[in-house]
Amino acid sequence: MTKIMKIHTVALFAVLFSGNIFAVSIVYNGFKCQNTVNSNDATPAAIQTQSRFEVIEDVGDGVFRLKLTGGLPRFTDNSPTVCIDSDTALGFSGIGEVDVMPRQLNAIDATAYYNGQDLMITVNSINSDLSSGRSTFSRFTTSLVFPISNTLILKQDSQSSSFKLKKIIHNRGFVHTSGATNSTIPFFETVLPSFGDSGQDKPIILTPGSAIQYVFE
């Protein structure tokens, strides 16, 4: 990449003027996922949507704060089928005393590093099935809570002024508490830093089987 092209791309990312940021976005156009929860099901629904990263701050040294809306591409390793996951990728947020119930987010913060050619974006979310409750004999269970991290690795396509998604590193943890208020052992906590199809898995490294281009807008 030429020095002029590198400067041009950095300028596209964030233009600073009088202390204010005029943000630009990179966007992938696709379809919402038909199955909102199952990360192994990339079947698209007939609903168009966008995965959009908008620059909200240039931190310096190639680091940017971003806002993600729409969700993230979902696919299984080397599969050409892609949908955009708006549920688990954005997740939930809530404080009991304030919100009563966690609410589903329509945007979430992300952090990016850009070195003039490669772009790396990290997104962290928390998904929940909101299933907490109390049953007979003073038994209780919390919701199933899944901390989720996604790291996107993209490479700039200088011919089209876009970024091609090369890989996603996906990890999903698991937190759950159950118990009984009248028991000598009041509750049991399950905390797994990585949780997938077989109990405790390693983070998954996924390569798309078809081109996923994020273009400037």
pTM of the model: 0.85
The residue behind tokens 């955009």 is 84
DSSP 4-53: HHHHHHHHHHEEEETTEEEE-EEEEEEEEESSSS-TT--PEEEEEEEEEE
d(CA 171, CA 175): 14
Q: Can you give the pLDDT of all 217 residues of the chain as single tens digits?
A: 444 444 445 555 544 322 344 458 999 999 999 998 888 999 999 999 999 999 998 898 989 999 999 999 999 999 999 999 999 999 999 887 787 788 999 999 999 999 888 999 999 999 998 888 887 777 888 899 999 999 999 998 877 778 999 999 999 999 999 988 777 778 899 999 998 777 678 899 999 999 999 998 8
